[in-house]
Amino acid sequence: MPDILHRVGINAPVGKVYDVLTSIEGARAWWDATATGDAKEGGLITFFKKVDMEVIEAKPNERVRWKCVRGPEEWVNTEITFQLSYKQDQTFVIFTHANWKKPVEFMHHCSTKWGIMLVHGLKALVETGQGRPAPDYVQVYVGG
């Protein structure tokens, strides 16, 4: 099954990135300003009022994993992993959105959007205090 892969390097300690990934305030500040719920292990985060991510793993300063349990048909049962590692004076986030059934056009769109959100959302937030979460994200097509 095809996966979406990304990597960003963030000029910050790994703990700062981990904290953003495991708090609802962090989720609101990098990905979706409307996010609600609990971003700790075992919790459920609701994005865009219609996408539920179960936090299936949160290992401090190492790894955060979400499973999509409600959302676009193509996303249900897919898994998102943020693997953290500190090297070369920065925190690298190795991102995978795995278990897509097919490489449909929507998957291509999501891949680009994840890249933009990781760079302008997560990386920018941690480095500067200001990310560009939805709905004010950098557009990848005319309309979104």
Residue number, 46 or 137, with CB nearest to a copy of itself: 137
Pick between residue 77 and residue 138 the one whose CB is nearest to a copy of itself. Answer: 138
**120 Cβ contact list (under 8 Å, min separation 6):** 131, 132, 137, 138
- CA 100/CA 102 separation, integer angstroms: 6
What number of other Cβ atoms are within 10 A of residue 39's Cβ? 23
Site residues (vs a copy of itself, CB under 8 A): 2-11, 88-90, 92, 94-96, 103, 105, 107-109, 111-112, 114-116, 118-119, 123, 138, 140-143
Q: How far is the CB of 141 from a copy of itself (least distance, A)?
A: 3
State in angstroms the smallest separation of the CB of 103 from a copy of itself: 6
User: Rounded to the nearest whole angstrom, what is the least distance from the CB of residue 38 to a copy of itself in the complex?
Assistant: 28
Rounded distance, CA 79 to CA 100, Å?
Answer: 9
Q: What is the DSSP letter of 1?
A: -
CB 4, min distance to a copy of itself, A = 7
Please state, in angstroms and as integers, the Cα–Cα distance from residue 105 to each residue in 48, 64, 100, 112, 132, following that order.
Answer: 21, 27, 12, 11, 24
